[in-house]
Amino acid sequence: MRSKLLRSMFLVPVVFALGIGAASALDQTNGTGKTHEGASLGFNAKANLRGNITYTSHDGTGFQIKCRDGLTRYQNQRPTANGHLRTRVTATCTDKSGTTVYVEIYFVDRGEPGDRDVIRAFFTYDPAFALNANGDPDVFLTRCNNGTVITEGCSDRGIIGKGNVQIHRGPAAQRATRVARGKS
C-alpha cells in the first residue's frame, strides 16, 4: 500500500509536467514566404521558446538574420476583428557577421491558402529595444531589403507572397481565445 502511495506521489507531478510541456508545444507559428519588401522568410516559433527564424534580403547587401532557439517571447494575441489568429514573437538573433540583432515579428494567419497572410517584422541592433524592436525609432526610418546596408535597424511589413503563415493553438489557448471573443 505504501509503495503505491509513494509511486502515485511521484507519478502525478511527472505526468502533470509532461502534460504542460505538451500543451505549450502545441502553440506554434510556422511558415515561409516572400515578405512585402521581397526578402525570404522562414520561421518555426513555439510557445516553449524553441524554434528558428531566418530572414534573407535579396537586394545585394547580404542582410541576413538567423535565430536558432533564441526566442525570448511567444505571445498569442487576440484574434483580429474577422477572427484571424495572431501571434507576436521576439528573439535575440545574429546577422551574417555574427552581430546580435533583436527581432520582433507579428504574424496574422488569414486562413487558407495563405495568400493574404501578414507579417510585421522589426529588426534592431540597439539592446535597449531587445524586447520591443518596433519601439526603436530607427526601424521605422529604414525599410529592409532596400539596397542599403542596414546598420541601425529596419522594418518589413505587409502581405506574405508565395508562402503561408500557420498559427496552431493548443487547447488552453483555444479556450482563452473563445473566452476573449465572448464565446464559451
In a domain, 176, yes or no: no
In a domain, 19, yes or no: no
In a domain, 50, yes or no: yes
- Beta carbons of 162 and 58 less than 8 angstroms apart: no
Beta pairing partners, 129: none
In a domain, 115, yes or no: yes
In a domain, 100, yes or no: yes
Residue 82 cell numbers, joined: 474577422
Q: How many domains does the chain have?
A: 1
pLDDT at 26: 82
In a domain, 6, yes or no: no
pLDDT at 181: 42
Per-residue pLDDT in tens (0 to 9) along the chain, 184 residues: 555 544 554 444 444 444 444 444 589 999 999 999 999 999 999 999 999 999 999 999 999 999 999 999 999 999 999 999 999 999 999 999 999 999 999 999 999 988 899 999 999 999 999 999 999 999 999 999 999 999 999 999 999 999 999 999 988 655 444 434 444 4
Q: What is the pTM of this model?
A: 0.81
d(CA 25, CA 169): 9
**Domain range for 75:** 28-168
Beta pairing partners, 51: 45
In a domain, 116, yes or no: yes
As separate numbers, helices (DSSP H) first and strands (DSSP E) second, the chain gives 3, 10
Length of the chain: 184
In a domain, 141, yes or no: yes
